[in-house]
Amino acid sequence: MIGGTVLALLAASCSAAGAGVESEAPAEVVAKELLVGDEQTATTTFTVPESQTAMIAERSTIAPDHPVPHSVSAGIGGAAQERISNGGIPVFSGDFADPDVVSHDGLFFAYATNTLFMNVPILSTERNGVAGDALPVLPTWSEPHHVWAPSVTEIGDRWLLHYTTRHTDSGRQCISVAVGDDPGGSFVDDSTEPLVCPIDQGGAIDPSVVFDGADPFLLWKSDGNCCGLPTIIYAQALSWDGTEVIGDPVELIRNDLSWERDVVEGPSMIEVGDTWWLFYSANRWDEAGYAVGLAECSSVLGPCLKQAEPWLDSIESLAGPGGLEVISLADRAADLVVYHGWVDGEVGYPDGARALYARLVRWTRDGPVLIGGVSEGS
């Protein structure tokens, strides 16, 4: 969970008809920034360079369990208006899985799972598009093409990038942390070993940082579905600077509902009043049954009680939503969620793309409800 100073990131189709802006390139997406305390809206266009657009066709087969996504340059396609009318609003139409978004000094930065050409691709309103690779160099114990689910956090005067990457010696996915002076990168990871790497549980993926007051905690998932083991979402205390874990992890939830199949993953948490709400993804990531679940927790360390059915499920032209991050908007009546979803009925690679979506949520006695469009599962 990352605090923000701006309300944020609602999108129009690439034609930008809804925003009254003409699009000159098929890979442009217009994002509206709704400023805190100001009813006036401004538009910013994310433009994908031609050098990226030409790279869509190539695919990698290095990791068949999680194929490397194609370039972030894919176009929106013909059903954009239908997605908008159904509440699925693409902020960026190219492949941008497992997103996280932060705001800093009036700018937005969005981060995602690796593409063919970048370990952690960034979208930036400052640079009007794909701003580059937040993590151009991996630590020596790791390897490219398996860099997933970044979580970016400001702690003190530094920015931290917690992320998933392949531990070469074991072949398992593990969690590491890189440090930067600016959310636009580049982040540096000079570690000699992973931050979290429970080999006996299949490894660890999907880090997300949450604060209890000033104290940071790391949410993560044991990657047991890699090898016939349970999948468990844990919370674990971090050092004051966020670069080390403290004590033992505490189990929050595991895969025990039928709709989840053998996976719970992608945790993100927010405190609202006296309740901590835990969002998570479940089911198979490359199928339409992938969805976002919700659990109500007594504290950042649990205990947690899951809702029986998904909170956010597939809708027409947006299948398998997941990888959700919830972002607190301080002193606002609403908060922000960002997530990915398969678009235009194409689920799975190589034909599909997991686009970036952003929605505002309001809070009721029963938990979060999406604002506008269809509030599936809420």
Domain ranges of the chain: 10-370
Residue 120: the pLDDT is 97
Between 45-49, 62-66, 225-229, the lowest mean confidence (pLDDT) is in: 45-49
pLDDT, tens digit, 9 for 90 and up, residues 238-292? 999 999 999 999 999 999 999 999 999 999 999 999 999 999 999 999 999 999 9
pTM of the model: 0.80
- CATH number, domain 10-370: 2.115.10.20
Amino acid identity at 82? E
Instruction: Give residue 223's identity as a one-letter amino acid code.
Output: D
Give dist(CA 179, CA 242) in Å, integer: 10
pLDDT, tens digit, 9 for 90 and up, residues 291-329: 999 999 999 999 999 999 999 999 877 899 999 999 998
Confidence of residue 345 (pLDDT cuts 50, 70, 90): confident
Identify residue 118 by its one-letter amino acid code.
Answer: M
- Cβ contacts of residue 307 below 8 Å, gap of 6+? 293, 294, 295, 296, 367
Q: Which residue has the tokens 């429970």?
A: 198
Q: What is the pLDDT of residues 197-239, one digit of tens each?
A: 999 999 999 999 999 999 999 999 999 999 999 999 999 999 9
Asked if residue 358 has pLDDT above 80, the reply is: yes
Instruction: Report pLDDT for 72.
Output: 36
Is there a contact between 246 and 304 (Cβ–Cβ < 8 Å)? no
